[in-house]
Amino acid sequence: MAKTILFVYGTLKRGGRNFFRMAGQEFVGEATTAPRYRVIDLGAHPGLVHDAENGLAVCGELFAVDARGLAELDAFEEVPGPFVRERIEVPGHAEVWAYYMNTPAPEGAKTGDRWPLA
């Protein structure tokens, strides 16, 4: 059965407080996106946005996720709702997906290329 390659950048990463939600999924490796994105600090967790003009190469991890795991992660991320799952450009990988914020970034929120922010 085909698996979806998912880019994670926050609490779902290894060592993150929600990493347990990745149980049974295959860690592919650490990865960095093309420089077209930005991580937004939302306090307890981050969000990801497209930023064509001032984007950064965001650091995260890739996992090969089965259909059941993807459905559970979509439910956890409340997709579609506060987050949506869309493609992300990761050099060297043909088709990668990530969870993006589906709401405007809070005014004055800190941003960067990784979470937690430096």
What is the secondary structure of the chain as a DSSP string?
Answer: ---EEEEE-STTSTTSTTGGGGTTPEEEEEEEEEEEEEEEE-SSSEEEEE-TTT-EEEEEEEEEE-HHHHHHHHHHTTTTTTEEEEEE--TT-S-EEEEEESSPPPTT--EESSSS--
Catalytic residue among 77, 86, 89, 95: 77
* Dmax (CA) of the chain: 43
- Catalytic annotation present for 26: no
- Residues marked active site are found at 77
